[in-house]
Amino acid sequence: MDDFLEIAGKKIKNRLFIGTGKFSSYKVMQEALEAASCQVATVALRRVDSDSKTENILDFIPKNCQIMINTSGARTAEEAVRIARLAKAVGAGNWIKIEVIRDNKYLLPDNLETLKTVEILAKNDFVVFPYMSPDLSIARKMVDVGASAVMPLGSPIGSNRGIKTLELVEIMINEIKIPVIVDAGLGSPSQACECMELGCAAVLVNTAIAVSSDPASMAEAFSKAVAAGRLAYLSGIPQSGKIASASSPLTGFLREK
């Protein structure tokens, strides 16, 4: 099936985006990215060191994989903008996942500071993907100021609880015209599949892959689940009902007396 997610002129076939934190080594991370045939990977700027004499994380990202720098550690729009500009300056590209987080306990994003960041970076030719708490009105404003996609959380970062924000995410999918990519909290391939069946454009997964006992196999499992969920969505999932509906006729095959 000729089905691509197109963002900023780039056609993406694999709708599983993978985060690069928490892996036991860059080599293990590379194996997971390759096993999933990953086309988009997020990287924290602090892990990028182009002057390193030893290992540089960018050397372990597959060549056909789009790097998306995240602004992890930013607590204000000003800090996030500075991180994005540094990333571009060191050659990491202009795809930016915006993370602005002040809450240290639940790591929930600051939507207002994130919106400010989107507006500034979009005006300066960045391709921006804001990580946000699902809120339709904020999402619409992010669309208006130039977001390329929005990334609502499924549940708190690293919690592996799945998509606890399902109804809010579904509203966003139905009401805004840019891709909705669920990010954070997905703990199993079935949860990723559920997001895709709902109509999400993609999902981003990190912890569930990186901390598994076999990250490469888990990455492959997530990739296949995302593909299955997408195919199911495109095929038209039947609505559920409250009463039975027979698969075969119940009359007409026995002669009534």
pLDDT attached to residue 91 = 85
Q: What is the pLDDT of residues 19-42, one digit of tens each?
A: 999 999 999 999 999 999 999 999
Instruction: Work out the burial of residue 156: count CB atoms within 10 Å of its CB; fewer than 13 is exposed, 13-18 middle, 19 or more buried.
Output: middle
Q: Which of 53, 97, 141, 177 is labelled catalytic? A: 97
Check whether 51 has a pLDDT greater than 70: no
Q: For residues 228 and 234, what is the distance between their CA atoms, to the nearest angstrom? A: 10
Return the biggest CA–CA distance within the chain: 90
| Residue 125, amino acid | D
Averaged confidence pLDDT in the chain: 91
What DSSP character marks residue 53? S
β pairing state of 66-70 and 151-152: unpaired
Q: Answer for the pair 65, 41: CB distance below 8 angstroms, yes or no.
A: yes
Question: Is the dihedral angle over the CA atoms 240, 183, 146, 11 positive or is it negative?
Answer: negative
Q: What is the pLDDT of residues 168-224, one digit of tens each?
A: 999 999 999 999 999 999 999 999 999 999 999 999 999 999 999 999 999 999 999
CATH class given for the domain over 5-235:
alpha beta
11 against 1, higher pLDDT: 11
Q: Return the structure tokens found at 247.
A: 């698969």
Domain extents for the chain?
A: 5-235
Q: What is the pLDDT of residues 115-139, one digit of tens each?
A: 999 999 999 999 999 999 999 999 9
Q: Give pTM, 2 decimals.
A: 0.89
3 state SS of 55: coil
Q: Is 123 a catalytic residue?
A: no
Check whether 1 has a pLDDT greater than 70: no
Q: What is the pLDDT of residues 79-91, one digit of tens each?
A: 999 999 999 998 8
pLDDT band at 245 (very low <50, low <70, confident <90, very high): confident
Question: For 193, phi and psi rounded to 5 degrees?
Answer: -60, -40
Q: Which residues does residue 7 pair with via DSSP β-bridges, in sequence order?
A: 10
